[in-house]
Amino acid sequence: MGLTDMLQDNVKREQVEDFVKRYDQGKPADGISDQEAQQQHDQVAAQLDDKEYEQSAKESFERLDPQERREAGQQLGVGETDDPGELAKATAKVHKEQPDLLNDLMSNPAVKGAVAGIAASAAKRVLKR
């Protein structure tokens, strides 16, 4: 089952649409709890292939300001880079090799915003179809 199939369920679709709407308002981490960011990420990420995940991560990091990207980069162990593509590759690698690390870093607003953004970016692409 892919993300498109998951969003065929009307209740799930409404939940995801609400999440995306709140993600798009203000700063990425505002209005979204650590638990909700993690839950949405885990549900959506499970439906993405590696390329889709990395693309969603890049789009997510593009929404963060440069300081937040550098902060996320430090937390992810890639230094103070603010390059969305580099951060997306690092996040995809962490997601694949150390998935619990993203959950452990959720208390950091920059990481939470990026993780929430991965789910929101992927969902937006499917919802637009």
Measure Cα distances from 27 to 102, 118, 124 in Å.
19, 14, 17
Exposure string of 113-122, with b = 16+ CB inside 10 Å and e = fewer, is bbbbbbbbbb
pLDDT exceeds cutoff 60 at 1: no
CB 94 within 8 A of CB 102: yes
Q: Which domain holds residue 97?
A: 3-127
State the total domains in the chain: 1
CB atoms within 10 A of CB 22: 16
Query: Does the reported pTM lie above 0.85?
Result: yes
Angle at CA of residue 30, ends 96 and 11, nearest 5°: 70
| pLDDT tens-digit readout, 2-43 | 677 767 778 888 988 999 999 999 888 888 999 999 999 998
Binned at pLDDT 50, 70 and 90, residue 112 comes out as very high
Q: How far apart are CA 3 and CA 59, in angstroms?
A: 17
